[in-house]
Structure 1
């Protein structure tokens, strides 16, 4: 059994082009990827300045991509982060939300995610207020498929340290406050979980009163530390038995769209093959499909440098050797590696704090 698979473009840092989004989904759709959530942190009209309308050119691009997804049979969703709206859900907030919902409807959004992640959340009755906001949204739009990202979307205590102590029984309260048909994103025991076990998903599902929708933070590589590494290897720690315990599996991709396709393909194999899945062989097969045999073999041989060592631990000589090696190829994945070696994908703390 393979769950519904898709992309949640929810990373910090430089944004992709629309052509890159189309290319990624064209590669992944044959592997079972059926939905795409557009929610980059750098789109300020969805987050820090969500009350403002998208400029006309950006609105047209969004509408064009929504139409393209519809033509391809891909469900297109948008992730709206109404920044700290739960602290003042007043008339002005409702007016701004109504305008944003009307815009989403006009461009063909079929799924809407309301993302309460990565913002200060030490608010009394947090879950009840978020449930109230979602109920209002559902009553004021023709969009019929919804998801929520909780303020505390993982068991990871780092969220409490950064955004305030989570309320007691927050997940249980949120589950009761939400319509049963609303999906709830969950990243697992950690923000970037090494393993997602059936036992963990059983517990979270019981707390929420519904199967969680996985927001899988692999192969994402945003942030100051992670952006120094390329996440390329096949998925591990996602047993096929999870399929019946989740409402879907969305992966947050890496900053490099072409390279992201490689691990994404292995996730489909992980579910499809079950106990016969081999993550190393799945990587090789996916890399050959995306890159061709020669470049795939080259990438396989350089995994220790690109994924494990990372930019900060590469010597100047090793970095120069890799740069020359991949500069010789015109493949878009090779160009992504060259740009990464040149520091073009470095995500700073300032980006994370201001996007």
Structure 2
């Protein structure tokens, strides 16, 4: 377990450092007495306020100078603003937790300007405790944006015209306040498209009134979601007035944007179009992009709803046809709708390492399983900070340690390696697959007994991990509860593997019948673990591929 040194600070930014310490479980001792002494100052020099490679102003640049060895050492931070100071402090914490403390100077900044998550899935929205915990988590991983838009919040979509009741409004205000305190941009989403009559003055006024209620909390960033609705006009009044859906949407977006900008010049708007995936040059998205105000960002998921990869050429096509860089709504790790049997806790992959040069940023859609989502989110945060140096596997292992806890890491790694399947990783179980490949070769071309013994040792190691994860004693109890269904399937799969080893060793038809029976039970549970790796091996066993004859 990591021992956190105490911290003291000097200078005008001590209140920010104190607040950060309190939120991250460090003991803060004021201006003296701390084992780590931190001095922080803001700079308006160009190198701290302007990113040459991106040609943009930034408040997220910092320089970190470390001197001395833990636990007694000094930290000097120069940065562009409060948000950058938080990132520098996060860097100090990561170095302590990962044993990477080194004297020296480093200059760092994020590559993507917008880095965050959206609570935008179908299913049970996160409760308030989960939501607030998630805000703290993404802030500690240097994300800067939280987007509120759960599909099953009735006030967001189904009852979009209705003002929030007092209790719901207060909770939303608390989320906004906490986001602000953590240095996160809070976006509120409203999704009127399922029922809205675009030609109705009354309904437009209802939309404005609802968003005004949220603005009065202090919110200045909004998303108008027009996704997952019919692709043609539904109301006769609209059909008479507009030639098609995109004309209605152009009119709505521009009028809505003009209205809210009259309240405050600092307001920002993102629109999710009805056609939110594809090549980026289709008629709807091209007309919408070329016709709405250039300051409005557009969400885009890539060439698929859940895109297996996102490339620079795809971003270029979108930019050329919509006259703006895409803001990616990335549907990972979300596992709603047809994906509910899957658990997406693998690392972020297949996004171009130069994508930051051709996009506004990435907002990652989560699962209703909040704790489980954090594993993938940590890897996404790592990619978004510096995609050119991003290592998916190294980041994933760091994420597992952070979310699961060091004491359960090795056992969780054994399990998690068998639930990687998603749109980003269309196979699974790389460690098991490699072990089965070695077994297959050794069984037929080497020492057969040794091959069986080696595979059994591997299976017993997995079985030990399954037993620990099912014991109820995990450090992260909320995570254990969320993953229980998949851990149980993992355990059942291991048991069938053990049955296979018994048969291969004994060559008994009775043992083969046990494999057949238990394999049918295993297949009857649609929970997705092992992908095809285990099934392929089991089918070979049932076909008597490993017959000793």
Alignment of 1:275-354 (within 5 A): 275-308=388-421, 325=470, 327-331=472-476, 332-338=478-484
What is the TM-score normalised by the length of structure 2?
0.55
**1:93 counterpart = 2:203:** yes
- Following superposition of structure 1 onto structure 2, how do residues 125-140 of structure 1 map, counting pairs within 5 Å? 125-140=244-259
Q: Structure 1: any 5+ residue segments left out of the alignment?
A: 157-165, 310-317, 347-355
Q: Tell me by how many angstroms 1:322 deviates.
A: 6.5
| C-alpha distance 168-226 of structure 1, shift in aligned 2 (>3 A) | closer
Once the two structures are superposed, residues 142-174 of structure 1 have per-residue CA deviations (whole angstroms, 9 ceiling, x without a partner) of 251000001010018xxxxxxxxx995111100
Cα offset, 1:230, TM superposition: 1.1
Q: Do structure 1's residue 69 and structure 2's residue 192 form an aligned pair? A: no
The answer to whether structure 1 residue 227 and structure 2 residue 340 are counterparts is yes
Q: Relative to structure 1, is the Cα distance of residues 140 and 339 closer, same or farther in structure 2, using a 3 angstrom cutoff?
A: farther
CA contact (8 A) 1:13 1:41 kept: yes
Q: Which structure has the higher relative contact order (CA within 8 Å, separation 6+)? A: 1
* Structure 1 residue 251 displacement after superposition: 0.3
| Number of residue pairs aligned between Structure 1 and Structure 2 | 325
Residue of 275, 295, 301 corresponding to 1:152: 275
Distance 2:127 2:396 in 1: 25
Q: What displacement does 1:83 show?
A: 2.7
* Contact 2:405–2:475 under 8 Å retained in 1: no
User: Against the structure 1 CA distance between its residues 45 and 339, is the aligned structure 2 distance closer, same or farther, given a 3 Å change threshold?
Assistant: farther
Distance 1:308-1:214 versus aligned 2 partners, 3 A rule? closer
TM-score by structure 1 length?
A: 0.84
8 Å Cα contact 2:277/2:305 also seen in 1:
yes
Give the aligned partner of residue 116 of structure 2: 6
For the residue of structure 2 that corresponds to 1:337, the secondary structure is: helix
Q: Which has the larger Rg?
A: 2
User: In 2 relative to 1, CA 79–339 (structure 1 residues): closer, same or farther, beyond 3 Å?
Assistant: farther
Residues in 2 aligned to 1:262 and 1:222: alpha-carbon distance in whole angstroms: 17
Which of residues 263, 285, 308 is equivalent to 1:194?
A: 308
* Correspondence for 2:299 among 180, 185, 188: 185
SS of 2:329 mapped into structure 1? strand
Output the CA distance in 1 between the equivalents of 2:157 and 2:368: 19
In 2, Cα distance between equivalents of 1:126 and 1:230: 36
Partner of 2:86: none
Structure 2 CA distance for partners of 1:210 and 1:281, relative to 1, 3 Å: same
Unaligned runs of 5+ in 2: 1-109, 234-242, 423-462, 490-525, 527-549
> CA 1:182 to 1:283, structure 2 compared with 1: closer, same or farther past 3 Å?
same
Change (3 A) 1:328 1:17: same
Q: Does 1:43 align with 2:153?
A: yes
